[in-house]
Structure 1
Amino acid sequence: MRWCVAQQYVFSAFLVMALSLQLHLTGQAQPLGKIVAAYDSSAVETGEAFSLEFRITPAAAHPAVTNLSPWYGVLPKENILACTHWERTEQGWRQALILIFLEAGDVILPPLPVVLLTGDTLWSAPIRLSVIPTPTPEEQASWRDIKALWLTPASWLERWAWLLGIVVGLLMLAIVVYWLLLRRPKNRRKVRETVHSKSPHVLAAEQLAALESQRLWERGALKAYYTELSRIVREYLERQYGFPALESSTEEVLQCAQRAIPSILNDPLKALLQWCDLVKFAQATPPAHYHAQAMREARRLVEQTAAALRSAPSETSSYPSAEPPA
């Protein structure tokens, strides 16, 4: 009886040891894992290097050989530019390949077998790619930059806000245009009307009187005196006879005035304008008696031309001549 009990204990112990060994061996068995292909895009240009990776996760037995021959039917062997050895990573195993496609079209790379050191085989999934032709320089030049996104208004309130802003902006622009084009030109017209409301000879006489009262030649300001005197005479001729005396040379002014003013005034006018030019541009100094005489010649020009236009010639007076130096 005791012997039977001992046999039962021995058999139970042996059974427990066998089960423990089986569980230990089962725990050390490695799963085969799964192979996937990773790449950036399914579209690739002709002649452009295309990179992809094969990854085996979870960590399985060490991969031994990747058989690439199933691809040779659609991808020549020489178009496989690089194929690295399998490397261990934290997640499993990885292998990098670099391919190049020379013809455009849709390509399906068939599954590849990967043989493990244990003798098992893993198969990759088919890879579908779209090979597009490389654009020509003319096509690239015609491409436009991507425009920014335009957000449509979410409600009518936002639409009215935009419309209100546009209306306010247009109103402000109209006010500015009104001020620039209507208000300021009116002010200028008023100034011109005030100045031109007087006849040319009256305005010239007033300007000559104002210039004479300053007695600039007595203070040595000959250039300022003769410059202003020339301007008054030229402006008078321009307004009285309608030719651009202010913008013309002295020779041109004399040619136009010769056909308009009495002939007796041609020589005094010529001497006056020439002396004005010599003082302004050559720093010449007329005779001392000519400073006051130049004013009298200008005043006589205004008075006698105005009288001639009224068909009532006045008596002329003679003054000592002061011919400009040659």
Structure 2
Amino acid sequence: MYKQQVIRRILLSFFIGLLFPLGLLAQNTLEVTAKADSSSIRIGEQVKLHLKATVPAAVFNKPEFRLLLPIVPDSLDHFEVVTRSRVDTLTQQDMKVLQQTLTVTSFDSGHWEFPPQKFEVYGATGANSVDTLFSQPLGIDVNTVAVDTTKAFKPIKTVRAVPWNIWDYWLYIAIGAAVVLIALGLWLYFRKRPEKKPAEKLPLVTPYDLARQQLKSLKEEQLWQQGDIKQYYTRLTDILRTYFEHQFGIAALEQTSEELLKNIKPVTKLNQQRDKLRSLLAIADLAKFAKLQPTADEHEDCMTKAEEILEWTRPKEEPVAQTPGAPDEKPQTGA
């Protein structure tokens, strides 16, 4: 009895020792599968097809390892691929799982087999090793829709006219009304908009005419008669300096009296009036800066000298050019 128990234990240990390496081998093998959610569909329905590859982590982490999932064409015998998911990689204990889901359909009734799918494996057993694994074929029944033949066929219905409803076209009506209102508004705007009249050209005032007007205004204001001597001579000299600057291009407003007298030498007509200008500027500087009180005759004499300088340097008026061939205009006499 005791010997039989010993023999049984020895045999049991022997079988366990044989099965243990097989279990380790099974855990280290690479498996591929193709499964469908259903083995029976109606014509035109869709079914999910799951492609799956289970790889040991030790093999998956090899730098030379590479696994290619099956490339399923869009159209197979009796099957059409509708969509494809991206390839996902999952970790399950010491295994890596690569999977992809295909959505397929069929429009042919009958029992059809989805063909075995080819998985290509590179570098699983060596750097240059190439292996090919195939999944099992899948049988799928594609059933037609049951038709009750005992009932009579119904006639084809005629085409029905849909009743007209204004609210079905409200968007087009609103757009048309908006276009009409915008066009009407633009028409009224441009109709009432005042026409732009060309700007009237103002006559150009020459430096000489401007200076004459300013001297006339200065005389009419009677500043020196009212005791404002400094303002009188300041205005008088500024009128002349501005005239020199615009007429002869001399920076007279920024120069002292001596500098101004030196800079008028190149201007012949103005240099001819140099003595008058010197006398006028001398009295004006004394009145403005030294608080000199000139006599009434000196006031009048300075104004007269300013007017004489203007008249002497007055620019010549250019004759108006007559159009060739035009008849001379003669003044009309009354009858």
Bin of the TM-score, shorter chain as denominator length: 0.3 to 0.5
TM-score by length of 2: 0.33
TM-score by length of 1: 0.34
Structure with the higher fraction of residues in helix conformation: 1
Structure with the higher fraction of residues in strand conformation: 2
